[in-house]
Structure 1
Amino acid sequence: MSTICALSIAIQAGVPILTWGPPGVGKTATITMLTDVLALPLEVVLASIREPSDFSGLPVIRKEGVRMEPPAWAHRLAQAGKGVLFLDEISTAPPAVQSALLRVVLERVVGDLALPAGVSVVASANPPEQAVGGWDLSAPLANRFCHLFWSLDVQYWVEGMIGGWSISDLPHLPPVWENSLAKKQALVASFIRHRPHLLLQVPKDEAQAGKAWPSPRSWDMAARLLAAAESVQAEEDVVASLVTGCIGEGTCLEFLAWCRDLDLPDPEEVLANPSRLRLPDRGDQAFAILTAITAAAIGRLTKERWSAAWCVLAQAAEQGKKDIAAVAARKLAAARKPELPLPLKELQEFIPLLQKGGLM
């Protein structure tokens, strides 16, 4: 059930998902049940029998010029305003069709029609060696997905055979789940600052390039899924499968181990009592703490939180972390609202930097 939970979170977060698994394990049936539970319209498109024009649009001459007309399923999703586009058997789609899918998966654009933000993209694939006429996914297409590997839960299957198939206890993201997105983006940025070589690692092996690997795009997806998972207090194995699906297993293990070692304070507690903050000696820990506090302040920027965040940064400078605090100071200054006063005392250490960046 952890795979189904991860799939549900990703659909609601709007992150494209590619489910991998052998034939006959119930990928398509589960996704159909899942959309029923989430009350989302479902459009199933068999990618293996489609032409590139089914995704890039057919040219139609209008008075105003040539329009790339999308197919009927795209119009139905646009009219519904929400839903799931399920691309079945994507690993048997030839390279030309995979190229046509690039904008569909990443930007939700079909022909000249932009699908609503409430439409999520889910695809399924069999490993190439188990698919009829299978192809390895191209690296650009693979990197647009979070890859989830289907595990066959024997107990779930036995219970379904006896009592009927159903999905229950699905996590439902709260309306404010994106409030923690800036905090997760700051966490990811802190890790990349500590491990810059892991920002982009395109596999040289063609088969591996068709799976999950780290890139600026997949790190952004990972941050989004971390925020969504936190909002429903997802289990650790669900979080791990989502992050692994974006950046690959090895990178994910290193990232999660680094997160466990950080021991970050609650940003809200620090903003409530900024004078009590004592930064650790480790530079990566200090950077992660300051970026998380700044992201929390910006997420709900009031006069009190604005002043508290500058107090934190001023203390960081006093504690010998001026260079690290400067990054957070630039971000905080850029988020200033007109009605917020400049805390000149706390700004003293950063005034030359902010003037140079055109922020003062």
Structure 2
Amino acid sequence: MTVSRPVPTTNARLDVAGELLALLADVSTEPRPDTQLDALTLAVAADLPVLLWGEPGIGKTAALTQLADSLDLPLTTVIASVHEPSDFSGLPIIGDDPATQGVPMAPPDWAVRLVRAGRGLLFLDELSTAPPAVQAALLRVVLERRVGTLRLPPGVRIVAAANPRSSAADGWELSPPLANRFVHLRWTHDHDVVVRGLGGTWPRATLPVLDPQKLPGAVAFARRAVCTLLAARPKLVHQLPNTETRRGGAWPSPRSWEMALRLIAFATAAGADRDVLSQLVRGTVGDGAGFELLTSIDRMDLPDPEVLLAEPAAAELPQRGDLRQAVLDAVVAAVRKRPERSRWDAAWELLVKAVETGAPDLVVVPATTLATLRRDDWVVPAAIEQLATVVSVSQRADRAAARVVVEVGR
């Protein structure tokens, strides 16, 4: 006798499908070095609006969802491109006595929910497909944190996402006033992160740990870093780019320099990685001004050449090649400024130490310059013999390279 099995009802089938979907959504997180995620969380901690730039499908929305979960913040997503300007500036409603009280601007429901919660992550998606009128309405939301008559509470953080115009559906360039209010971060995918995430484990977003003892020093360091650069390069205070595309990104202005100063202070207090600071600084004032600021910060930590000349045996030279080159050049410049036999000998001792602890080619130019500073009554130190081979080999290599260029050009 054949026993027939009962056919599952439609609801039962959907319940099983729901169980499978729940299993697929059951993922975990782990602490994992991730520069772009660290940059995002630091900017969120600094309460600065962030704009993530990336191709469609790169995982910007998923990253924000995971960020909100990790920080235990309710996520409110607003698709900017499908809203009208009044959705951000407020909808006019008739009050009891418009002639006396005027016409109030009622905020949308998502803004009311954020105010009631007192905290949250406001995610403005598809910003580059929002028309100029909507972008203009968003200015007040991003800068003043106002939506209609409501002011978003301090516990609300703002993050936006956009696709480059080349890959956006009916995309627009961001208006310069709106673009200059964001920290711009390039969002790319990491193969290892994606593979491990699809396997069920994604990187965990954690807010930076700020050292209370470092706060006053971090603020002083940030102010000195920005002010030192701008005092020497006044043209960098405000540089509106000359192309529409670049105006829609990061560029230097008093507003963006203030944001850069805040990020430097937060990064210093948190002991953030230099790559994280680099992304944040360049995402605030642009690549050109950002690189100049980072270089200026690096040089702020360089040892004083006078200290090195006073005790060359105890000197510690930077490991990075560009910083070591800057230190050696500064030492030679100090000797040129005040040429004395003892200082000249100390400089040679430092160059020998540089050869013994790093790339020899870095000393070629400083050694050549230092040799020209010798006075007739100064005895050539024995240290020069240790450098003679390095300098002569480098010069022969330069001459050989020059001959190759000439022969190729014939």
Scaled by the length of structure 2, what TM-score is found? 0.62
Distance verdict in 2 for CA 1:175–1:70, change over 3 Å = farther
Which residue in 2 is equivalent to 1:197? Answer: 235
Identity %: 52
1:116 offset after TM fit, Å?
Answer: 1.1
Q: How does 1:105-124 map to 2 (within 5 A)?
A: 105-124=142-161
Query: Secondary structure of the equivalent of 1:116?
Result: coil
Q: Determine whether 1:148 maps to 2:181.
A: no
CA distance in 1, matches of 2:142, 2:211: 24
1:228 aligns with 2:266: yes
Q: Contact between 1:6 and 1:239, CA under 8 Å: does it hold in 2?
A: yes
Q: Which moved more, 1:173-182 or 1:201-210?
A: 173-182
Q: 1:5 maps to what in 2?
A: 38
Distance in 1 (CA, whole Å) between partners of 2:212 and 2:78 is 29
Aligned in 2, Cα 1:169/1:84: closer, same or farther, shift over 3 Å? closer
Does the residue aligned with 2:124 lie in a helix, a strand or coil? strand
1:244 maps to what in 2? 282
Partner of 2:158, secondary structure, is: strand
- How far, CA to CA, are the matches of 2:193 and 2:175 in structure 1? 34
- Offset, 1:163: 3.1
The Cα offsets for residues 94-133 of structure 1, whole Å up to 9 and x where unpaired, read as 0000000001011111111111122111000000110110
Q: Distance in 2 between matches of 1:3 and 1:252?
A: 17
- Pick from 104, 117, 137: which aligns with 2:141? 104
- Matched residue, 1:51: 84
Q: Secondary structure at the match of 1:66?
A: coil
Does the 8 Å CA contact 1:22/1:130 hold for their aligned counterparts? yes
1:254 counterpart letter in structure 2: E
Determine the C-alpha separation between the residues in 1 that align with 2:207 and 2:123. Answer: 19
Can you give the 5+ residue segments of structure 2 that lack an aligned partner in the other structure? 1-33, 304-329, 331-410
1:177, 1:228 within 8 Å by CA — same for their partners in 2? no
Deviations 1:324-345 (A, max 9, x none): xxxxxxxxxxxxxxxxxxxxxx
CA contact (8 A) 2:128 2:174 kept: yes
- 1:33 aligned onto 2:66: yes
Whole-angstrom CA distance in 2 between matches of 1:81 and 1:190: 39
Instruction: Determine if the alignment matches structure 1 residue 15 to structure 2 residue 38.
Output: no
Q: Supply the AA of the counterpart residue of 1:79.
A: R
The Cα of 1:173 is off from its aligned counterpart by 4.5
Shift of residue 27 of structure 1? 0.5
Local SS of the residue matching 2:51: strand
Give yes or no for the alignment of 1:219 onto 2:257.
yes
Alpha-carbon offset, residue 160 of structure 1: 1.0
**Alpha-carbon spacing, 1:30–1:193, altered in 2? closer, same or farther (3 Å):** same
Aligned partner of 1:206 in structure 2 is 244
Q: 1:251-275: CA deviations, max 9, x gaps?
A: 111111112112379xxxxxxxxxx
Larger radius of gyration: 2
State the alpha-carbon separation in 2 of the partners of residues 98 and 89 from structure 1.
11
Alignment of 1:80 onto 2:117 = yes
On the 8 A contact 2:45/2:207 being kept in 1, the answer is no
Q: CA RMSD in A?
A: 1.9
Q: Is the 8 A contact 1:9 1:172 kept in 2?
A: no
Contact 1:19 1:147 in 2 (8 A): yes
- Residue-pair matches, total: 266
- Between the aligned partners of 2:134 and 2:212, the Cα distance in structure 1 is 35
Q: Is the 8 A contact 1:18 1:123 kept in 2?
A: yes
The 1:183–1:203 alpha-carbon spacing in structure 2 relative to 1, beyond 3 Å, is same
CA–CA distance in structure 2, aligned partners of residues 176 and 81 of structure 1 = 29
**2:295 corresponds to 1:257:** yes
1:258-295 Cα distance to aligned partner (Å, 9 max, x none) = 12112379xxxxxxxxxxxxxxxx9xxxxxxxxxxxxx
| Residue 181 of structure 1 pairs with residue 219 of structure 2 | yes
Return structure 1 stretches of 4+ with deviation > 4 angstroms. Answer: 172-179
Residue 351 of structure 1: aligned partner? none
Distance 1:255 1:24 in 2: 33
2:105 aligned with 1:68, yes or no? yes
Aligned mates of 2:72, 2:300 — CA distance in 1: 39
The whole-number CA distance in structure 2 between the counterparts of 1:172 and 1:43 is 25
Q: Does the residue aligned with 2:123 lie in a helix, a strand or coil?
A: strand
**Structure 1 residue 172, shift from structure 2 partner:** 4.2
Deviation at 1:190, TM superposition (A): 2.2
| SS in structure 2 at match of 1:62 | coil
Q: Whole-Å Cα distance in 2 between the matches of residues 168 and 259 of structure 1?
A: 27
| 1:306 alignment counterpart | none
Query: Is the Cα contact below 8 Å between 1:68 and 1:111 reproduced in 2?
Result: yes
With over 3 angstroms needed to count, the CA separation of the structure-2 counterparts of 1:109 and 1:175, relative to structure 1, is: farther
TM-score normalised to the size of structure 1? 0.70
The separation in 1 between residues aligned to 2:254 and 2:87, in whole angstroms, is 29
Comparing 161-170 with 222-231, greater Cα deviation is found at 161-170
